[in-house]
Every structure is written in structure tokens, then in C-alpha cells.
Amino acid sequence: MEFSAKQIAELLNGEIVGNSDIKVNKLAKIEEAEANSLSFLANLAYEDYLYTTNASIVIINKNFTPKKTINNSCTLIKVDNAYECFAKLLKTYNQLKNNKLGIESGAFVAEKSKIGKDVYIAAFAYISDDATIGNNTKIYPHVYIGDHVKIGDNTIIFSGVKIYHECVIGSNCIIHAGAVIGSDGFGFAPTSTGEYSKIPQIGNVVIEDNVEIGPNCCIDRATLGSTMIKKGVKLDNLVHIAHNVVVGENTVLAGQTGISGSSKIGKNCMTGGQVGISGHLTIGDNVKIAGQSGVSKNIKNDMIIQGSPAFAMKEYFRAYVGFKNLPDIITRLNELEKKAEKNG
């Protein structure tokens, strides 16, 4: 795909300084850019690269004034916010790159399924009975869509995703390779013989609009009712959501976070990597949980917590100072005990 500076400026409502006809066919970081590539400068820590870059087009902020002469072969496009505009271009480029249509040979689409307009279904994908696929949705190779699954419009499901029966996926979602949606929750009842009897998991998973799920995430179906991923949620790689969990709107969970069954996570929360949350807890809105924390009790709105078990971050730092000094404290205590014994 090739675009001229004029086309890019029109898309971004930008002002061209240089050759409006110059064209680019790839995107690159400003320090690595080659000829025919498009880059951007938003962080002034990278300003020096502007004067040495080989990029054909660079997007800059309107209020930026270069300190040195810029290569004549480099065209600038001035915009209100270079970072946001470059992100917009990345999104547009990605949409164009993935704009595939049609059902490829080798895909299985059940006769009773309902397929929308402008859909792409790749070879070796499997669409089961009574599944509903929305308009402009893309389904890549080796995806399995179970019976009665509903998928909204403009959703992308990458290779190897498995979506079990009766789950619901909203519109404008992205589910990355290897994710499993709707596998059985971890429900077993101990018997008198010491064995475990499986409890049927007859609920489903409901994922609302504008959700992105990273590779190899696992979201378990509910025992009864639904495991809920609310709109705008973003899950990093290898996140596990157990049965009957609710993740609130616009919450972001970093890699290897695990949430145990029936816990409720509020809106606009953030977790660092490897956070563990016990079952049947309520985490309030706007909560931030530092990486590798273990949460074992309910958390109120707006708290920032750390540790295992996790507690308020300010208290954690005070406690950690004491923890770091423990070796010295123990040494001093031993010396005092020896003196006391000697004098006693």
C-alpha cells in the first residue's frame, strides 16, 4: 500500500511542509526509518533523529520548531498531536491490511449458521450450527465457533481461537491467537471417597463491545448465568478469568493476571503482571494493583495496593523499609542479647 503526503495530511487535517507528492509504503520508528517510510516525532528526547532520519515523511506537532536544518528529502506534516495522529494512521493501516472478504475454500460453515455481509472466513475455520457472525467480521484459520455463538460486527478473531457454545462476543472486538472463550469453569465437589465430582458448567461467557483479548487468554464459562467482560476491557497475554467473574468497563489486566471464581472487578481498574485475585471478592472502581500482588480481601474504590497479601501502597512502602532493615535489626538485637547475658 502506498500513500502520498497529501493523502496523509487530508486524513489527519495536517499542514504539509515540503513535497506533497512524495509517497510512502511503510511505517517506522524515526531512528530506524528508511527511504519511502513514514515516521513521527512526539517525544523531544528523539529530536536529534529528525535531523538524520531517512524517513520520507515525518509527522510533528504544530508548535514544534526545529533547531537545525532538516534533510530536503524529508517532508513534514504538522498536526495538533503527533502521537495521536500516528496512532490513527496505524489503526487505518491495520484495517486496510486486514480488509479480507469472502469464505475461503476449506472453511466449514454450517447451513444453519447466520453470516453477515462483508465477512471473511479463512480456510480451516469451523462455524457451528446456529452461530451468528456479524457484518465485516474477520475469522482467521483454525478458529472454532461453537453452536449458538453470537459475534457482533467489525470483530477480528485471529488464528486458533476457540469459542465454545452459546458464548456472546460484541462488536469491534479483537481476540488474539490461541485464546479460549467459554471452557468449563473449575467446578468440582469432593465426595465421601475423596474423589472429585465434576459440577456441570451450563452458563456462558458474554464479552461486550470494544474488548481486546490477548493471545492464550482463558475465560471460563459460568456455572450458572454468565462470566462478564464489560465494554472497553483490555486483557494482556495469558490472563485467566475464572467462572462467574465480572470485569468492569475499561479495566486493563496485564499479563498472567488470574482472577478466581465469582469475583467482581470494578470499572477503570488496572493490574500489573502476575496479579492474583482470590474468589468471591469485590474490587471497587479505579483500583490499581501493582505487579505480583495477591489480593485476598475486598478493595474499596480508588485504592492503590501492593504486596501479598496486598494492602495500601503507602503502608506497603513503609513496611518494606522495615523489611529491608531486618538483617541489621536482627544483628543489633543479637549483640544486645549477648551484652545482656554478659552483664547479667
Quote the CA–CA distance of 235 and 254 in Å, as a whole number. 6
Q: Quick one: which of 310, 286, 307 has its CA closest to 298?
A: 310
Q: Are strands 23-24 and 3-4 parallel, antiparallel or unpaired?
A: antiparallel
Q: In the chain, what's the furthest Cα-to-Cα distance?
A: 93
Spatial contact of 223 and 199, defined as CB atoms under 8 Å apart: yes
3 state SS of 276: strand
* Rounded Cα distance, 297 and 289, in Å: 13
Beta strands in 71-187 (DSSP E): 75-79, 102-103, 108-109, 114-115, 120-121, 126-127, 132-133, 138-139, 144-145, 150-151, 156-157, 162-163, 168-169, 174-175, 180-183
What residues have CB less than 8 Å from 87, skipping those under 6 apart? none
Q: How many CB atoms lie within 10 A of CB 75?
A: 25
Q: Which one of the listed residues 165, 176, 243, 280 is annotated catalytic?
A: 243
Closest CA to 232 of 196, 260, 207: 207
The reply to whether 243 belongs to the active site is: yes
- The pairing of strands 196-198 and 188-190 is antiparallel
Catalytic residues: 243
